[in-house]
Structure formats: structure tokens, C-alpha cells
Amino acid sequence: MKLTDIHPVDSKKHMLEPNDIFIVAAHEYKHEQEQFEEAAQKHGVSAERLLYTAMIELYSHPGLIRLRSGNTLFTIASFPDRVGYVSMVNGDTANRLVENIVESLHAAKHMGFSKLIAILEPEIESLIKKAVDSLSEEGFSMSLQDKTLEILTGFGG
């Protein structure tokens, strides 16, 4: 992948390889790159490269549940009482991301999760809200407090 080719790709037109999803996400996630800047300088690499490596390490952790919807990768760490901590790595377009989130929420509910927790970046808050709102008739709801998102799936009453 050339530097000029690094951009979100509509998964209805082209499915990226997982490695390419990490490359797109590391390139696009400017806020996260800032968080890696100091450590990257210490190791003589770019913040984007260090973020890319961290994403792969997280996604590869054997204790996590991994899901894919379109060009978006999700991980869920499972906790007692049907609670899951979710993170995602996105290489898809904004419109497709909403569809991907809806699909992953359905999958989490079918796996038995009743509550999902995530740290939410402000840039995607409206997309998450749009996805959850589209599922409100199925019992899904969300609350947001201090960047912590809580989604109730409606599983188990």
C-alpha cells in the first residue's frame, strides 16, 4: 500500500486485508498518534508506526473475542455478568462504519453480552449514536459519561 493509497475504503466496493485495515486506521487516527508521540520518539519510529504495532498486538491477544464487519475489526474482552469491553479498528467509510457497528452489536447480543463498554472518541460519537438508535426497537440503548460509552443490548431482560 502506497502512502497516497491510505484512506478509508468502502467495504461494499473492496474488502481490505486485516493488515491494511490497521494501516488505514493508524494513518487516520490522529488523536491516538498524539498519545504515542513521546514513546515513538524514544524508539526512533513514527507515532503512526507505533500505533499500528499496538493495534496489531491488541487485536492478536489470545484472550479477546475478534469480530469483523466490513473493513472494521472489533475486539471484545469478556467479563462476568455478560459485560464486554469493546474496541474497534476502522478502515471503512463513515456510512459503512454505522452498518458495521450495527452488525457487531447484533453479534455481541447473540453471544450473550447484555452490556458493552467502550472508551469513545468524540469524532465517532454521532456514528455510534446513529447505530444504537437504529436498534432501539430491538432493546438496545446507550449512555455516555466522560468518554465512557455503555451500550445495553437488551439481552436477558
Residue 4, domain member (yes or no): no
pLDDT at 126: 85
Amino acid at 132: V
- Alpha-carbon distance 73 to 31, whole Å? 19
Domain that holds residue 53: 15-60
Residue 39 placed within a domain: yes
Q: Which residues of 6-18 are buried (b: 16+ CB within 10 A; e: fewer)?
A: bebbebeeeebee
pLDDT score at 5:
62
On the question of pLDDT at 104 being above 80, the answer is: yes
Tell me, yes or no, whether 90 and 36 share the same domain: no
Q: Is residue 116 part of a domain?
A: yes
Please tell me which of 22-31, 73-82, 111-120, 144-153 the model is most confident about, judged by mean pLDDT: 73-82
- Please tell me the total count of domains within the chain: 2
Is residue 156 very low, low, confident or very high in pLDDT (cuts 50, 70, 90)?
A: low
> Do 105 and 139 lie in a common domain?
yes
- Which of 124, 130, 118, 12 lies closest to 69 in space, CA to CA? 12
Task: Verify that 55 and 72 share a domain, yes or no.
Answer: no
Q: What CATH number corresponds to the domain at position 138?
A: 3.30.1370
pLDDT tier for residue 93 given thresholds of 50, 70 and 90: very high
- Mind listing the pLDDT tens digit for each residue in 33-65? 888 899 999 999 999 999 999 999 999 999 999
Confidence category of residue 149, pLDDT binned at 50, 70, 90:
confident
Contact criterion met (CB below 8 Å) for 60 and 52: no
Whether the CB-CB separation of 37 and 54 falls below 8 Å is answered with: no
Any domain includes 34 = yes
| % the chain with pLDDT above 90 | 63
Is the pLDDT reported for residue 157 higher than 80?
no
pLDDT exceeds cutoff 60 at 3: no
Residue 143 lies in a domain: yes
Does residue 136 belong to any structural domain of this protein?
A: yes
Q: State pTM to two decimals.
A: 0.87
> Among candidates 51, 103, 52, which has minimal Cα distance to 74?
103
Say if residue 88 is in the same domain as residue 143.
Answer: yes
Helices and strands of the chain, counted as H and E runs: 5, 6
Rounded to the nearest 10 degrees, what angle do helices 47-60 and 30-43 cross at? 100
Q: What is the mean pLDDT of residues 122-139?
A: 87
